[in-house]
Copies of this chain bind each other. A is one copy, B any other.
């Protein structure tokens, strides 16, 4: 059965139902599951686990690459399965549980999780559940639409449940580049020298004796929920294209720019779309998630190569890409997130990192995660991995939210994920602030002049002027610094005006 998918014949007797496989997961275990930006997650076993937990309660620590699709985090949360969750999520039900303190969420840089696992600094993975398109004759794992942390989970876990997903095309085989850094103190440089360097193998090498179950599944990845560009996101893209042009004019970039990274989501996707109508070409991407815009850039002849850790497409784009996958395959690679997001490689290649801010402040500190300083949205994801070591660390956001009740540009952010030291360029639909080489007072004026919505500009200028009267390298009026957030909490608006 499934001889093209399970090529090591001795594994055939490991095939079982998802419910049977889920029985292998014990209360208190730490489980590592595949899945990164709603792509390539194990689907059947976590669903069966949630169903089982509704009958017989159990709790696990769940690690993934990043977010899961198919409402898995919702089902697992509702079934009370999640004691601990790391390193990223985007599910509204899970989010509520995290913010209520009933699920312990550990929000990590996406390059860090398996480093900590390998060094046994966090609890070991007892069991891995990994979606694959095939198992090779050697018993090695051919992953599906994401690599994420799957390779390290499978290598480090005591036992592995494999989900062979028949809905994922076998053509994905050959796309992955599985490389695991060696153990310290004899670790060698990671030999990625450009976005298209392949340094590993196409499958995850594990001892097939560790495979304790194989489950056949047929469920597709959830389609991307990215919204189409609107006037604001197009304006943001326009400001960035103009900025890149000025960098080319100044001789700091060539027409191929530098390898591009774009965070997941509507704004970053729109920014990448903005490059379709730009003078730049022969572009490359060294990113985490490859979205619709990646393939639109391929189709437009703008993009030479794209490296990522997952592919997350809309239903329409997915159908189109996989009807002619041979057009793209030689120009794509999917890597472990430890490598796609590795500080060493990001610094070496000189990435242009474009990520979305929830809010930023006068001085360029960025909040990517916490609403009102307390309530978790999704997690920092890879934004810190990229921003810290990028050639250009760019953060984008619309200048206002909720019809103007919220300004995304504030006197002091309510939570800091990226400090002023790590932020080069801020962009809203209002304009772009180039903070490179500026002292805090200069950064503040650039932010006020270029990024804040007119509705908030006078108030922000007023705060800054008042703060400057008090002095300090980074002037603040501590008594007022968080007031906009407090107003929002108390009145539903940051400012009464």
In the complex, A350→B185 CA distance in Å?
8
Closest approach, in angstroms, between the C-beta of A451 and any C-beta of chain B? 19
Q: A109-B421, A380-B421 are in contact. Are A252 and B119 (CB under 8 A)?
A: yes
Tell me, yes or no, whether A184 is within 8 Å of chain B by CB.
yes
B474 touching A376, Cβ below 8 Å: yes
Q: Which residue of A184, A384, A417, A479 has the most chain B CB atoms within 10 A of its CB atom?
A: A184
Q: Is A374 an interface residue (CB 8 A)?
A: yes
Separation of A190 and B438 alpha carbons in the complex (Å): 29
Are A373 and B481 interface neighbours, CB within 8 A?
Answer: yes
Q: Is A331 an interface residue (CB 8 A)?
A: no
A200 contacts chain B at the CB level, 8 A cutoff = no
Q: Give every chain B residue within 8 A of A481 (Cβ-Cβ).
A: 373, 482
Which residue of chain B is the closest to A117 with respect to CB atoms?
A: B437
Q: How far is the CB of A421 from chain B (nearest CB, A)?
A: 6
Determine whether the beta carbon of B478 is less than 8 Å from that of A106: no
Contact A185 B471 (CB under 8 A): no
Chain A: interface residue total (CB-CB under 8 A): 84
Asked if A123 and B472 sit within 8 Å, CB to CB, the answer is no
Q: Which residues from B are CB-within-8-Å of A184?
A: 258, 348-350, 391
Copies per complex of this chain:
2
In the bound complex, do residue B99 and residue A436 qualify as a contact, i.e. CB atoms below 8 Å apart? Answer: no
How many Å lie between the Cα of A484 and that of B174 in the bound state?
57
Contact present for B441 and A473 (CB under 8 Å): no
Indicate if A486 sits at the interface (CB-CB under 8 A): yes
0/1 string, A465-496, CB within 8 A of B gives 1? 00110111111101101100110010000000
Question: Once the chains bind, are B485 and A478 in contact (CB under 8 Å)?
Answer: yes
From B388, B417, B476, A388 is in contact (CB under 8 Å) with B388
Q: How far is the CB of A110 from chain B (nearest CB, A)?
A: 11
Check B348 against A189 for contact (C-beta < 8 Å): yes
CB distance B120 to A474 under 8 Å? no
CA gap between A250 and B119 in the complex, in Å: 11
Q: B475–A486 contact, CB under 8 A?
A: no
- Contact across chains for B373 and A105 when beta carbons are under 8 A apart: no
Contact string, A435-448, partner B, CB cutoff 8 A, digits 1/0? 01111011000000
- The answer to whether A437 and B121 touch across the interface, beta carbons within 8 angstroms, is yes
Contact A373 B476 (CB under 8 A): yes
If the complex has contacts A101-B471, A119-B350, A120-B251, are A478 and B370 also in contact, measured as CB distance less than 8 A?
A: no
Q: Are A421 and B348 in contact (CB under 8 A)?
A: no
Q: Are B190 and A343 in contact (CB under 8 A)?
A: no
Beyond the given A106-B437, A121-B436, A376-B472, please list 7 additional residue pairs across the A-B interface where CB-CB is below 8 A: A101-B471, A107-B473, A119-B252, A370-B472, A374-B467, A374-B478, A479-B486
Q: Which residues of A contact B (CB under 8 A)?
A: 84, 98-101, 104-109, 112, 115-116, 119-123, 184-191, 193-194, 250-252, 258, 342-344, 347-350, 365, 370, 372-376, 380, 384, 388-389, 391, 412, 414-421, 424, 436-439, 441-442, 467-468, 470-476, 478-479, 481-482, 485-486, 489
